[in-house]
Amino acid sequence: MNTSAYPSFSWVSRDVVRVRSRCAAFSWKGVGSLPLRCGNEFYKYFSQYFGRRILCRGSGVNAFLQVLPTIPDNVQRAVSGDITVDEAGHAIASLSSGKSPWPDALTMEFYEFFRPRLVPMLASIFISVFAAGTLPQTFSLMHTVLVSKKSEPEPPSKHGNYRTIRLANTAYKILAKVLANRLQEAGFIRSSRKYLRTACRKLGFES
């Protein structure tokens, strides 16, 4: 579906890229084989969630930053250092296989099979990414697919009978896993729930 017709959501990159549905298989009265009408209906519904931009400025940002834990210098150096071959290899080994990739079509099985050859290149790419301060374009895109919760497709008006699956670049998943492992080793993830509650209270989200 061409999302250029929706300029108000043109800033969305990883969230709403495309909404794909198998409308040709739908046969209820009034829709038939009109994939564009069906796709537009789903786009309007799901863009409410994936296209929502929440801005927090001024005192809200300061309140959030004040409750974040302080990382010691030695931990900060370890977390922000160059990504190593061992880290990339460990991330590949720990990620689940059998997942659909997008947009490069390279699966986790591919990375696992060629791991000895690929991890040096991946580590080098990740180091370059951090040095440049910009993610590759393929890392910034996701493909949102609609899957019916029931055996038979439902009319577009029954949005709640569909769930979304977001397909991401496998190399992006590997990078995210490396960073998550570093934060886990630093103890940030283990203590993040307490700080999240405090931050929510500071921002006015008491519940």
Query: 101-115, 146-160, 162-176: lowest mean pLDDT where?
Result: 146-160
Q: How far apart are CA 64 and CA 199, in angstroms?
A: 5
- In three-state secondary structure terms, 20 is strand
Determine the pLDDT at residue 26: 39
User: Which is more confident, 45 or 192?
Assistant: 45
* Local confidence band at 66 (pLDDT 50, 70, 90 cut-offs): confident
* Local confidence band at 76 (pLDDT 50, 70, 90 cut-offs): confident
Task: Using DSSP bridges, classify how beta strands 142-148 and 162-168 pair: parallel, antiparallel or unpaired.
Answer: antiparallel
Determine the pLDDT at residue 82: 92
- Quote the tokens at residue 109: 């099985």
- Quote the percentage of the chain above a pLDDT of 70: 58
Determine the pLDDT at residue 197: 67
34-47 mean pLDDT: 66
81-94 mean pLDDT: 95
User: Which is more confident, 44 or 54?
Assistant: 44
Determine the pLDDT at residue 109: 94
Query: 78-87, 91-100, 145-154: lowest mean pLDDT where?
Result: 145-154
Determine the pLDDT at residue 17: 37
Determine the pLDDT at residue 13: 35
Q: Which of 198, 203, 197 is nearest to 56 (CA)?
A: 203
CA 184, 173, 159, 11 dihedral sign is: positive
